[in-house]
Structure 1
Amino acid sequence: MTQPLAFIVLIVAVGICEISYARVMDRPRWIQCQSNSECTPGYCCTIGKQKFSIPQCKLMHDIGDVCRPDGSITLNTTLMYPDGSQIELTEVHDMFCPCGYGLSCDRRDAVCRDPSQERGFNHLPGEAITEDD
């Protein structure tokens, strides 16, 4: 009973790989990414606002880089280009990558910061913060 189940799982896995491969192979060469998973770690897939923008992998923001305090905006959409090509985008970032791993966007200054370096990081809200000498 386990051999037929293993065979079915194998067939499904191969099918998923073929669909993913076909998705990448069917798109134009000049399209770098259709989702964040296609970018290397530390990068995200972004698309600009201009007509016929080309999605591309960009470096995630580092400490001190300008960011969106309200969070990164992602899009799921279909793009069509003058040559007739059409691509599906999934969870692609609108213009800007978010802050890199372990960083957060400071609401006041709109720049990426390491929250562990903030004063009072290990204190509960309302708890008195004392200065060490």
Structure 2
Amino acid sequence: MEISEIKPGDVLFVWGKGLVEETIEWVTHGPSHCALFIDNKTLAEAQAGRTTGTALLGEYLAEIDRLEVWRDETLTDDERVQMVDYAKNHFGIRYDYLAILIDLARFKLDIPLDNFHEGKRRICSSYINDIAKSVGHN
């Protein structure tokens, strides 16, 4: 898929190049990061070391090893707008480092912590999940 074909509300799954990214990928058996596509220059994301906010797509593409775009074909254009609005309205929430340890326990140690509630902090996957829930999608 070309960048010009990505729509607001699409999710970008990323496999990174660093030790932290490779560790997350080993733990989850999946991508190390995800973000919401806002427009042809901007993503919404929860990223370690800062609060939820925007990232520039060009800088983002330079730092990754592999990228996949996922599109929910059932989303309407109105829902896509609502998702972007929700993402923007929730900028400034702090990153949740504890959730990374919870995921380690859940994935690698097979400890059921599905009821763990992150409260007012987020990791990238919980941010994307909350955005999808804002329009009734899980």
User: TM tier, shorter chain?
Assistant: under 0.3
Q: TM-score, normalised by structure 2?
A: 0.25
Larger radius of gyration: 1
Select the structure that is richer in helix: 2
Higher relative CO (Cα under 8 Å, sequence separation at least 6) belongs to: 2
